[in-house]
Amino acid sequence: MFQTIIRVGLTFALVSACGGESHTHTAKSATSERAIAPDKRYRVDLFPDDPALGGESPLVTVVLYGDYACPPCARTWTVLDNLVEDYGEDIRVVPRSMTAPGFSAGEEAAEAVLAAGAQGAFWPLHRRFFAAPPTDRRAIEAAVKELGLDLTRLTDELDTGAFTGPRLRHRRQGIELGVAFGPVAFVNGRPVVGYHDEASWHALIDAEIEAAKAKIAAGTPRAGVYEALVADGPIEPIALGGEAAAARDALIAKLPPPAQDVFGPEPDEGTRYQVPLGGAVYAGPEDAPVVLVAYMDAACPYCRRSLATSFAEVLQRYSDDLRLEIRHLPLPIHPTAEGAARASMAAGRQGKFAEFYRELVTGEERKLSRDRFLAIAAELGLERERFLADLGDPEVIKAVAEERSQALRAGIQATPSFFVNGRFFSGHRSTDALAALVGEELALAEAKLAQGLPRAEVAGALIGEGVALPEHSVGAAKAPDENTPGSPEAPEGAPSAAAPAD
């Protein structure tokens, strides 16, 4: 897919992107004043954690979308590095990753650069990857070692998905602006598609400096110039014509929908819903007449408490009649939870989901990290290379994301949340309280059995009598309560709350 997307992108709109001409640093010049950007400005919001080259309060802000395996993107970055040298404090360049979805090396490279940024080395690894684009995880790790970075920390952050959110945020913003390939830049909101020579860029930057100075003369503070210029711009696909527009639209059609959280209204406590079965089985027989479907975050302290106490004890008490299925709902407040969910799925591919998840969540070692995943895998006798391959498999990553999205669409925004034969409850419950719920459902199940319903169909029949899960709607989740579990003020049984993912 990666090669196809890049090839199509290069075919139509990258001007002289693939040309063989050599490039050298040129001084400011008006020898090539052809317009490389339309006058229309688009609103391209900046993020608080954006790395940037250039001035802190510039007259011109360039937001550039690109991919480390895209040669025209590399050439454009060479031009922009030169422009920063020429214009100094008057220009700022902000990078955005626009990788081909499913191309794991590209996605990992983008996240690795963000992780390097947390160690103060965003730009060295950024430039290293444009000079020699990595094709796999081994190449990424080799580059990290060359730069003398903490490889253990960085690989932990890759495997736990610590920077997946920012990467997806870049892609979401890009798709909203109609960007499906690189290089595409926005210069004070004006789109520049493809590679252009340095002289053309100088002409554009000079014009934008004059526009910014006009804003300042009219009373806009220098620090507010960018916001003033783009404030009224639309957030919509950039205008392209002819084959360029058709190719862009075809590319975007192949991408997943823009990554955004879709939240449904929270289910009513105690109400029976038609929750689907078939999740990862933690314990219990296949034909159990009572099924507990639990939405869990491996880093959530109340999930740990439930799995170690009430869930375990009730499963033992009703060992012949109760099945526990786990669904993953990694929360943004727990950066390592997504990686833990992936690792659990990877272990499940070797038939050890329950054993892995139990040790991961309830074991003495509470730190969630790549080393921890590998240690548990070794204890369970899993094949190391296969486990690592599955840990980074795009299908595993996609499966975790889908479970999370399904939970949020159903209105489940906190962990632990669970359904007992479809009846919804949120937060930790004591063993006695949970056992009482299971007992109630078992009594209903026995009535179904007495009517001749096969045991394996009882739970599904009871769930089918419930109401449909809430319709989803796009919007923000309720903010996490300040009394998040783990703080002294957390009320008994309070679940960890979800927040909108970046």
% of the chain surpassing 70 pLDDT = 81
Instruction: Report if residue 493 sits inside a domain.
Output: yes
Instruction: Report if residue 144 sits inside a domain.
Output: no
| pLDDT tens digit sequence for 166-216 | 887 888 899 889 887 789 999 999 999 989 999 999 999 999 999 999 999
- Is there a single domain that holds both residue 327 and residue 388? yes
Q: How many domains, the chain?
A: 2
Instruction: Report if residue 161 sits inside a domain.
Output: no
| Euclidean distance between CA atoms 230 and 19, whole angstroms | 32
- Is there a single domain that holds both residue 266 and residue 231? no
| Euclidean distance between CA atoms 445 and 323, whole angstroms | 13
- Is there a single domain that holds both residue 237 and residue 376? no
* Interacting residues of 440 by C-beta distance below 8 A, sequence separation 6+: none
The contacts found for 365-368 with CB under 8 angstroms, 24 or more apart, are: 366/304, 368/160, 368/298, 368/299, 368/336, 368/337, 368/339, 368/340
Per-position b or e across 203-235, b if 16+ CB within 10 A of its CB: bbbebbbeebeebeeeebebeebbebbbeebee
- What global pTM score does this model have? 0.59
How many other C-beta atoms can be found within 10 angstroms of the C-beta atom of residue 148?
10
- Is there a single domain that holds both residue 187 and residue 328? no
- At 14, the amino acid letter reads L
Query: How many CA atoms lie within 13 Å of 282's alpha carbon, on the beta-carbon side?
Result: 25
Instruction: Report if residue 111 sits inside a domain.
Output: no
- Is there a single domain that holds both residue 69 and residue 187? yes
- Is there a single domain that holds both residue 237 and residue 280? no
Arithmetic mean of pLDDT, 317-321: 96
- At 317, the amino acid letter reads R
What CATH number is attached to the domain comprising 194? 3.40.30.10
Residue ranges making up the domain that contains 43: 2-103+167-254
- Is there a single domain that holds both residue 338 and residue 436? yes
- Is there a single domain that holds both residue 229 and residue 319? no
5 versus 379: the higher-pLDDT residue is: 379
- The DSSP output letter for 484 is -
Instruction: Report if residue 403 sits inside a domain.
Output: yes
- Is there a single domain that holds both residue 267 and residue 244? no
| pLDDT tens digit sequence for 425-435 | 988 899 999 99
Q: In whole angstroms, how far apart are CA 132 and each of 97, 125, 361, 444?
A: 17, 10, 39, 64
- In DSSP notation, 28-62 reads S--S-----S-S--------TT---EE-SS-SEEE
Instruction: Report if residue 117 sits inside a domain.
Output: no
Lowest mean pLDDT among 26-30, 119-123, 266-270: 26-30
Indicate the pLDDT class of residue 103, thresholds 50, 70 and 90: low
* Interacting residues of 84 by C-beta distance below 8 A, sequence separation 6+: 53, 54, 91, 93
* pLDDT given for residue 21 in this prediction: 35
% of the chain surpassing 90 pLDDT = 59
